Amino acid sequence: MDYLIQILNGVQYGLLLFLLASGLTLIFGIMGVINLAHGSFYMVGAYLALWLTRLTGSLWLALPLGVLAAVALGALLEWALIRRLYARDHLYQVLLTFGLILVFEELRSLLFGNDVHGVPIPPALNFSIPLTETLSYPVYRLFISGVCLALAAAMYLVIRKTRLGMMVRAGNSNREMAQVLGVDIPLVFTFVFALGVALAAFAGMIAAPVSSVFPGMGNQILIICFVVVVIGGIGSITGAMVAALLIGIADTLGKVLLPQFSGMAVYLLMAVVLIWRPRGLFQAT
Partner 1 sequence: MASTTPEAPIIEGRGLHAYYGASHILHGVNLAVGRGETLGLLGRNGMGKTTLIRTLVGLLPPRSGTVRVDGRDMSGAPPHRIARLGIAYVPEGRGIFPNLSVRENLVMAARPGRRGEWNFARVLQAFPALAERLGHGGAQLSGGEQQMLTIARALMTNPELLILDEATEGLAPRISRDIWAIVGAIRASGIATIIVDKNHAAVTAASERCVLLVKGRVVFEGASAQLRAQPEVLRRHLGV
Using the rule CB under 8 A, is 174 a contact of partner 1?
yes
Min dist CB 79 to partner 1, Å, is 15
Specify the amino acid at residue 96. Answer: L
Using the rule CB under 8 A, is 159 a contact of partner 1?
no
In the complex with partner 1, which residue's Cβ is closer, 180 or 275? 180
89, 132, 163, 278: which one contacts partner 1 (CB under 8 A)? 163
Chain residues 226-285 in contact with partner 1, contact rule CB under 8 A? 284-285
Determine the Cα–Cα distance for residues 174 and 179; give it in Å rounded to an integer.
9
Torsion of CA 98, 104, 107, 112, to 10 degrees: -130
**Could you tell me how far CA 113 lies from the centroid of its own chain?**
24
Those residues with Cβ within 8 angstroms of residue 24's Cβ, 6 or more apart along the chain or in another chain: 35, 38, 196, 200, 225, 226, 228, 229, 240
In the complex with partner 1, which residue's Cβ is closer, 196 or 235? 235
Q: How far is CA 209 from CA 147, 250, 251, in A?
A: 15, 23, 20
Using the rule CB under 8 A, is 87 a contact of partner 1?
no
Q: How far is CA 1 from CA 5, 236, 255, in A?
A: 7, 34, 16
Please say whether the beta carbons of 21 and 232 come within 8 A: yes
Binding string to partner 1 for residues 177 to 216, with x set by CB under 8 A, is what?
Answer: xxxxxxxxxx------------------------------
Min dist CB 171 to partner 1, Å, is 9
| Region class of 113: left (phi > 0), else alpha (psi between -120 and 50), else beta | left
In the complex with partner 1, which residue's Cβ is closer, 106 or 184? 184
Using the rule CB under 8 A, is 33 a contact of partner 1?
no
For 169, counting Cβ atoms within 10 Å of its Cβ (0-12 exposed, 13-18 middle, 19+ buried), the class is middle
Min dist CB 163 to partner 1, Å, is 6
Stretch that binds partner 1, among 146-154, 160-168, 210-218, 269-277 (CB under 8 A): 160-168
Min dist CB 283 to partner 1, Å, is 11
Compute how many residues bind partner 1; rule: CB under 8 A: 21
Binding site for partner 1 (CB under 8 A): 163, 166-167, 169-170, 172-174, 176-186, 284-285
